[in-house]
Structures are given as C-alpha cells and as structure tokens.
Amino acid sequence: MANLIVPAQSSPGEDGCVLSITPQSAGWDYVGFDVFKLVPGQTLRRETGDQEACLVLLSGKADVSTTEERWSGIGERMSVFEQSPPYSVYVPSGDHYSVTALTELELAVCLAPGKGGHAARLIAPGQVGVEHRGSGSMARLVHNILPESEPADSLLVVEVFTPGGHWSSYPPHKHDRDFLPEESLLEETYYYHTNPAQGFAVQRVYTDDRSLDETLAVADGEAVLVPRGYHPVSAPPGYDVYYLNVMAGPTRIWKFYNDPAHAWLMPPPAAR
C-alpha cells in the first residue's frame, strides 16, 4: 500500500497538474483523482477512455466543453472557503473534455470506472444538496455534488467544511466490506485546504485489528488515501478545514459502519 498522504507538487506541471492519484499509485482498483491549477487562457484537454469524470471547479471560472456540450463562463467562488456550492461537470467514459481557465482556476478531476451510460451534464450550484450534519463540535457543512441519487456509473463526490475546533467523518465510520445492505466497499480520497493556509488537519485511519493505524497531520493542498478502515478528521482551533471526497467501489452506494466503540455518539434517528 502507498503512503496515505499524497503531497502536492511545489509548482504545477506543464499541463497545470499539481497532484495526481491513480489506482496504480494508490494500490487499489477504482478511484483516480487529479488537481490542476490553470492560469487565465490555459486549456486542459483529456480523453475519458474507460473512466467517467466529475470536474469540480474548486475556485475560479472556466469554459468547459465535451463532445456534444459546451458551458461558457461557469464558476462563481474564488475560494472554497466562500462555502457556496461549486460548479461541476459530469463527463461519461468514451468522451473527452476541454477546460479553458478564464481566471486562475483550481480544478479537481474525480475519476472512476465508467460504462458510458449517461450523458455529459452541468451540475450547477442549485443542483448541489446542502446539508448541515452533526451538532455541537461535530457540526459541519456538507455539499453533495454527485450523490448516489444522481446518475453516474461509479463516482460519489462530496465536499465538507469543518469549522476550527470541530470534528467530521465522525463518529468514526468505515466502508471497506462488500457486505450490503449493512456496508458497501468504497475506496476514498480526501483533498484538503485549510484557512488560514498555514494550518493543518488531523486524520486518523485505522482498522479494527490495528493492522492499519496511522494518525496524519495533513497540510493545505495535500490528499489522503483511505483504502480501508475508520477515518475521522479533526480541525484544530483557529483553522477551518475543507476537504473534497471521491468514493468508488463495486457498487455505487454509500453504506457505512460505525466503530462500535464510538457508536454511542450517534444521535437517535429522530434527532439526526
């Protein structure tokens, strides 16, 4: 298994890439994830091949096109910490996409196996489900960009804002067994930003038998691989934490299992 923290490059590559995760580099089967930082006028072009893609405009504005669709001037927020839902574009396998930056642009490309069964489409901010999850120091803001209720073959994409001093992905849960209806097997990546940028998040990834048990200090612009196990996140006081999650597995459904030692922290169903 690869190291769980994937650092960003110190400067973008020729194509603007600052971070890249493939199934091969991660040592798993489903999830791929890239981040590009483009300057105004720069264009990124890619074929999707056998993968579907969800292009998330983390910050900045762009023109985006696929084989049969074109969207001009999309994007609103200039920082993820504006906390407004993003513009995103779903692109099926067997297609291609072109993204031209109109401003400085941070673009996340979320990838997983595709079957070509869906049309390319714009996911506008008004189509993103907004959820306030948890209470007290477990309260956080969730944007459901590509949930299981929306069409795709493999991808699940969500972003989460955790205020300083709060916890998220908490109580600790996992989804590493293909054991439906109780639990689904989903690989997962976390891509982080912190505000202020010199901050960090703390993430623990651990299994019941502790064959995997790592506690990570994650800097702004880094990603974390969650191949298996529970994976809670803490935002230190004074630093708000953002992360973008990409999940995929053999079945496109999110069914998680809480760590029994901490399940008592879950509110009763009527209070959730």
**Tell me, what's the pLDDT at 16?**
96
Q: What is the pTM for the complete model shown?
A: 0.95
Q: Quickly list H helices, the chain.
A: 23-26
- CA 194 vs. chain centroid, Å, equals 15
Q: Chain-wide mean pLDDT for the chain? A: 96
Q: pLDDT of 175-229, one tens digit each? A: 999 999 999 999 999 999 999 999 999 999 999 999 999 999 999 999 999 999 9
Radius of gyration of the chain (CA): 18
Across residues 119-129, what is the average pLDDT? 97
* CB neighbourhood size of 269 (10 A): 6
Reading across the β-sheet that carries 167-168, which strands appear in turn?
167-168, 233-234, 200-206, 213-219
Length of the chain: 272
d(CA 177, CA 116): 26
Reading across the β-sheet that carries 43-47, which strands appear in turn?
43-47, 96-101, 62-66, 70-74
- The answer to whether 145 and 128 are in contact (CB under 8 A) is yes
**Tell me, what's the pLDDT at 117?**
85
Q: pLDDT of 91-103, one tens digit each? A: 999 999 999 999 9
Residue whose entry in the numeric block shows the structure tokens 């299992």: 257
**Tell me, what's the pLDDT at 128?**
98
